[in-house]
Structure 1
Amino acid sequence: MTTKMTKTAQAISLCLCLGAASLTTQAATIGDTTVKFSGYIKADAIMTNYSDGTLASGNIGRDFYIPSLTPVGQNDEGTQFDAHIRQSRFRFTTSTPTDEGDTITGVLEFDMLATPNGDDRISNSYTPRIRHAFVSYKGWTVGQTWSTFMDVKVLPETVDFIGNTDGTIFERQPLVKYTTGSWEFALENPETTITPASGAGRITADDNALPDAIVRYTHSADWGHFAVAGLVRQLSYDDGVDVDESEVSYGVSLTSKIKLGKATDVRLAFNTGSGLGRYLALNAANGAVVTPNNELENIDSMAYAVSLHHKWNSSFRSNLTYSAFDADIDTTLLSEGSTEKTFSMRANLFYQPTAKITVGGEYAFARRELASGLDGDMNRLQFMLKYAF
């Protein structure tokens, strides 16, 4: 047993040291548990020009597209060039059989995106972060992974980290989920984002007493799949002085992936609700606003996305993506500087010279509009090389 564990540790250590030089997923057995190591190394080069300003060095919007960060109403500056490897990730997956004939699955995954430390001056070193850490057993999933309100299967293939960001639900968080057949039922970690009575800014309240409740149904067929998900949650804010309020938030997500022959598919998403806040468009609008009476009023929003994927041959493939976000901004409560609408469109081409390496290029155009009517544009050209192992 000791010898087997030592060989396993050596195999995993060798995989970690070799990195890009390794062309196979490392797998080993520790007792009854199979351990696999996988992931990818991705290098990005990004050239961005904004019509109404710029993003400062270290701003997360320079690493990937975030709708609410497109500058508006500032002085025009020149094109910015950025290069990073922060999306690179590594993943450990374990599989353990039980005496009853079932399987326990564990996943632990890291990357370096959206983490502090490191800069462009000397070392470009960044802190790893946990993406996924969960256990699955007999229909139950416990730990941190994709929210049940999110349909990962309709995310487009883009050089950008997300791609259809304006129109999609995007959330990873701790949860308890039970899956039976086509149904998923989950209780997930809550959080409320609030616009203060000033009408501008963001308060991350962390005052929730109840988890978010989510139900999803997915119908799968030869032509693809269709899914509908519902969300009910509590928006809560207690400042210890004037405000101690809660509101009910709800949302609906409709998604589908439709195959158009062997080489083409279309991916669709429509999301709407009251107080969706952080779930939609990377929190482009908050969940609620504090009224002059120190009460909470939900902010309504809706968004949609469509993406067309096509394989030209065994080596080349392309994607066209459009996504849009729209918040119901009441300027008697919210600042005219609040994000009211965003949209983005992107086109890309991927080339795969061998099974483990992908090279891609993508052009993206995005626009952000404020409640005042002012708007700003983003033009971005991005290239990547990814080695999957």
Structure 2
Amino acid sequence: MKSSAHKKLAGVILLTLGSTAHAGYEIKLGDEDKIEFGGYIKADGRYVSGAVPYRDYWIGSGSVGADDSEFRFNARETRFNTKYTHKDVVGFLEFDLYGGNSNVGNEVISNSYAPRLRHAYIKYEDWLLGQTWTTFMNTCAIPETADFGGPLVGEAFIRQGQIRYTYGGLQLALENPENYGGVDASDKLPDFVGKYSFNGDWGGVSVSALVRKLDSLGVDEVTFGMSVAGKINTFGKDDLRFQFSKGELGRYVGVVVAKDVFEEQVEETTAYTVAYRHFWSDDLRSTLFYGRGKADLANTDRSHYGINLFTNLTDKLSVGMEYGNYDVSDLGIEGDSDYFQLSAKYSL
């Protein structure tokens, strides 16, 4: 009997491992319980040349120095997730390899990197509790790129702890507060986010609003910001993706383009991205994208553009290449770097 049960479980595992579902592999533990495994393995070769020093992927930071060039191989974007389902309760965990510091490993011997928590949340009916993408985001608006995340300088892009309620297209959330840049900051109240999403055969668009209480040296204010983002289906399999965010958004957009508070004043940010993806054939496609983020008080202005070409070698394996440029402009100090990246991604 025990041997029969083991054979049955092995059969289930083999069947699920043979599945081509994008969500990953599924093991059924009973009528109301299952575990799913997903993620991907991604290998990148990246060359950067110019006045902005090498990064594995561009974010809203960046200093300007003498022209230089650098090449690196890495597989740190690789990630693994598990999803646990019991009746109406879902638990989700995901890690990638961007964690750790210089004590974890080095390029001399091991190239070791520590796992980093991305998502850890519980979902029950219309409620979500834990860490995941901020409700302020629309993940469908993120373009397909070789550079991780694409033009982050113009995107709303944060993962953090929260409690979220969903009712149809409406989402309301209380999220983790953090006064980035404030001196002697005291976070007394959670951030409030509201979002409404419109979806149809044509695509989807969301409108988001953010309300926060910023309390630090010289600052005691309630702040506001908004974002409109979406993905619009155009011709055939093509799509247009966009985001536009404005207001006292600070850390919520641009990935450190702006601080919440700059020199004891609340910073105002404008950020936007636009990307068009065209399918040359069923598997061969390109995305042309541009993103920009600006902070008024700090006078930071960062932009990122690129174009790529991807194809699927199998339903699980895609390869591609991308050329792009990252530009930094801060108080008259200007510089930019070109990059070229080759990527291969095996989706579990």
Are 1:325 and 2:293 an aligned pair? Answer: yes
Match for 1:184: what amino acid? Q
Q: 2:337 aligns with which of 378, 381, 384?
A: 378
Q: 1:114 to 1:375 in 2, by over 3 A?
A: farther
Q: 2:97 aligns with which of 112, 119, 125?
A: 112
Measure the CA separation in 1 of the matches of 2:83 and 2:293: 36
Q: 1:5 to 1:385 in 2, by over 3 A?
A: farther
Are 1:283 and 2:256 an aligned pair? Answer: yes
Measure the CA separation in 2 of the matches of 1:13 and 1:82: 37
Does the 8 Å CA contact 2:99/2:115 hold for their aligned counterparts?
A: no
Partner of 2:300: 340
Q: Kindly tell me the number of residue pairs found equivalent between the two proteins.
A: 342
Partner of 1:41: 41
Q: 1:184 aligns with which of 167, 171, 181?
A: 171
Shift of 1:125: 0.7
Are 1:261 and 2:235 an aligned pair? Answer: yes
Does the 8 Å CA contact 1:251/1:273 hold for their aligned counterparts?
A: yes
Q: 1:195 to 1:134 in 2, by over 3 A?
A: closer
TM-score (norm 1): 0.81
Does the 8 Å CA contact 1:29/1:35 hold for their aligned counterparts?
A: yes
Q: Helix, strand or coil: the match of 1:87?
A: coil
Q: Deviations over 1:340-367 (max 9, x none)?
A: 1111110000011110100010001121
Partner of 1:335: none
Match for 1:130: what amino acid? L
Are 1:355 and 2:348 an aligned pair? Answer: no
Partner of 2:86: 96
Shift of 1:36: 0.9
Measure the CA separation in 1 of the matches of 2:4 and 2:123: 25
Shift of 1:247: 2.1
Write the mapping of 1:242-253 to structure 2, written as runs, cut at 5 A: 243=217, 245-253=219-227
Are 1:26 and 2:5 an aligned pair? Answer: no
Partner of 1:224: 203
Does the 8 Å CA contact 1:131/1:172 hold for their aligned counterparts?
A: yes
TM-score (norm 2): 0.91
Match for 1:326: what amino acid? K
Q: Deviations over 1:198-255 (max 9, x none)?
A: xxxxxxx662011110000011122111210000012222xxxxx3743222110011
Q: Helix, strand or coil: the match of 2:251?
A: helix
Q: Deviations over 1:227-285 (max 9, x none)?
A: 10000012222xxxxx37432221100112111122211011100012x1111110211
Q: 1:3 to 1:168 in 2, by over 3 A?
A: farther
Measure the CA separation in 2 of the matches of 1:135 and 1:4: 34
Identity fraction in percent: 35
Measure the CA separation in 2 of the matches of 1:172 and 1:299: 21
Partner of 1:54: 53
Q: Helix, strand or coil: the match of 1:230?
A: strand
Q: 1:106 to 1:9 in 2, by over 3 A?
A: farther
Are 1:125 and 2:124 an aligned pair? Answer: no
Q: 1:7 to 1:285 in 2, by over 3 A?
A: farther
Does the 8 Å CA contact 1:68/1:339 hold for their aligned counterparts?
A: no
Measure the CA separation in 1 of the matches of 2:227 and 2:295: 16
Q: 1:96 to 1:122 in 2, by over 3 A?
A: same
Match for 1:255: what amino acid? A
Partner of 1:366: 326
**Ranges in structure 2 where 5+ consecutive residues have no aligned partner:** none
Q: 1:75 to 1:357 in 2, by over 3 A?
A: same
Q: 1:115 to 1:246 in 2, by over 3 A?
A: farther
Partner of 2:60: 67
Q: 1:49 to 1:339 in 2, by over 3 A?
A: farther
Measure the CA separation in 2 of the matches of 1:104 and 1:47: 44
Match for 2:296: what amino acid? D
Q: 1:135 to 1:4 in 2, by over 3 A?
A: farther
**Ranges in structure 1 where 5+ consecutive residues have no aligned partner:** 56-61, 98-102, 197-204, 238-242, 291-295, 330-337
Shift of 1:95: 1.8
